Amino acid sequence: MAKKVLILCTGNSCRSIIAEALINAECQGIISESSGVKSSGKVNPYAKKVLEDEGIWKEKYHSKSLDTVINNHYDLIVTVCDHAQETCPVFPKPVKTIHVGFDDPHGKGYEAFEATLIEIREKLLPKITEAFS
């Protein structure tokens, strides 16, 4: 049975969406969703483009608020920004939480999004795999 991971960020427009897509594409036996503690309501166009360029963009990826996922079952919660780590809510059922922070590429050029994708692939994916081994 697949493990479920929630990637939690502030706006759910860049880092968490990129992480969600990478995990779903590259981590065998793990299903990921993402959410924002203060959802922006939209995916950053560069985040979408970098995922399209990787061939892993799916229309189901969208910016979601925490209240849409708070009652879902997760095996792991991952915060990818300091604000989300500090404000991570208590979920109805106990769940393991880890933090792996990344700089926010929002407001920067496309190259920053490419760098963020690479950093998430290299730093976060191994930690998620390790959390389940």
Give every CB contact of residue 107 below 8 A, 6+ residues apart in sequence: none
| Catalytic residue (one of 81, 84, 117, 128) | 81
> What b/e sequence results for 54-79 when a residue is b if at least 16 CB atoms lie within 10 Å of its CB, and e otherwise?
bebbeeebebbebeebeeeebbbbbb
* Annotated catalytic residue, options 5, 6, 9, 47: 9
Whether 27 sits among the annotated catalytic residues: the reply is no
Indicate which residue of 25, 88, 98, 115 is catalytic: 88
- Is 9 labeled as catalytic in the residue annotation? yes
Would you call 14 a catalytic residue per the annotation?
Answer: no
Q: Catalytic positions, please?
A: 9, 81, 88
